[in-house]
Structure 1
Amino acid sequence: MEIKPQAMAIPRSTDHLEKGKYGPIFPKTPACYGFTIVANVKPGRADTLRGYGQSLAEALKGAPDLLAPLKLHYLRWVLFDDDTRFMYQGIFDTDFDKYTEDAVVLFTKSGINTAFENLEGFPMDWKTNAAAFVKFIRDHQCTSFLEYGEYPYFTSDEIKKALKLKASFTEMLEQMQ
């Protein structure tokens, strides 16, 4: 089976998209699902955001599967414009509605708050008000117009399974020598 890279251009208008619980359901692209938000940082909270990133990295060392329910491929957090603006990029395997609901449940159960609490206009009742959480994300979303996948449409579970198989195969070959 040959895997060929693919790209998908995403139209500006979402009028034609199926509506989910929280608005339009963007199509699965060769890069799977995801979103990018850009929002203003509450004054004086940039260091708190950086600290939150460090705390999350440390939490993942102790519990590598902490974010597993989100079916993430990648996250990228960026502070820019002299630490006054924040960009969040996430690529994941589920549609927006499921990702959002899973994130609220995950963070509520784990007792970890979201970095988004440091952003202007973020609803502080987000754990009990998923609709307000979603509205914030949608209001700050920067929709991509092109998405590319070197290994298109593969889920994170499929990739992890393939890597595990590769490791097992490598170990078997080494034992044969």
Structure 2
Amino acid sequence: MTISNTPQPSRPGLKSGRTNEFTLFFNVKPGHGQQIREIFQQPGFEEKRKEMSSRIGTLHDARWVLFDDDTRLLFATNFDGDWDAYIDDFAAQIPDVFDAILQHTEDYPGIHDPNIKDAIVAHQETACSYFRTIPDATVKDLQKAVRVQEAFQRLLDEAT
């Protein structure tokens, strides 16, 4: 699913090798901080989060942080590839999660709004500095390296 949007020459965020940083700041609707916390405390949420991130396939990590007495919300990730494709993946693969959380913030139009990319850019801040230890290792590269290492360890274990 590709979301149409206002063309922009470039998107915010710094790049390190093949990975990009992505940081959003939102104002939380008054009194909605606890509702956001409860989303993350739902039974099975961690398992659901793992399954959702594997659907996206380019997401290295993600963190949500309520701060300033639950009046502000941070969403920060690192991802591989193109900014627009990343947003399209969120809209296609896990739209309900974004909407469930961000409905508690001001000025969030919904993931299926035709201008969602403009809304995201309005909340995105580019980091002052961004560093990755292994900048050219994508999520797929890292997953493959783990599988190879596990197979190699099994071979070593079987040889002893």
Q: Deviations for 1:106-140, whole angstroms, at most 9, x for unmatched residues?
A: 134xx54341111111004x32x242x21221111
- Paired residue for 2:31? 44
- Paired residues of 1:22 and 1:97 also in contact (CA < 8 A): no
Question: Post-superposition shift, 1:58?
Answer: 2.0
Gaps of 5+ in 1: 1-19
Q: Mapping of 1:1-177 within 5 angstroms?
A: 21-25=7-11, 28-30=15-17, 32-55=19-42, 58-61=44-47, 64-70=50-56, 71-108=58-95, 111-112=96-97, 113-124=99-110, 126-127=111-112, 129-131=113-115, 133-177=116-160
**Given that residues 18 and 81 in structure 2 are in contact (C-alpha distance below 8 angstroms), is that contact kept between their aligned partners in structure 1?**
no
In structure 2, how many angstroms separate the alpha carbons of the residues matched to 1:62 and 1:167? 24
Q: TM-score, normalised by structure 2?
A: 0.83
Contact 1:30 1:148 in 2 (8 A): no
C-alpha RMSD of the superposition: 2.3
Contact 1:40 1:120 in 2 (8 A): yes
Q: Secondary structure at the match of 1:170?
A: helix
Deviation sequence 1:57-79 (CA, Å, 0-9, x none): 82452574322232210001111
Q: State the distance in 2 between where 1:106 and 1:86 align.
A: 22
Q: How many aligned positions are there?
A: 152
CA drift at 1:145? 2.5
**Counterpart contact for 2:14–2:129, Cα < 8 Å:** no
TM-score if structure 1 supplies the norm length? 0.75
CA distance in 2, matches of 1:86, 1:72: 19
- Give the fraction of aligned pairs with identical amino acids, expressed as a percent: 26
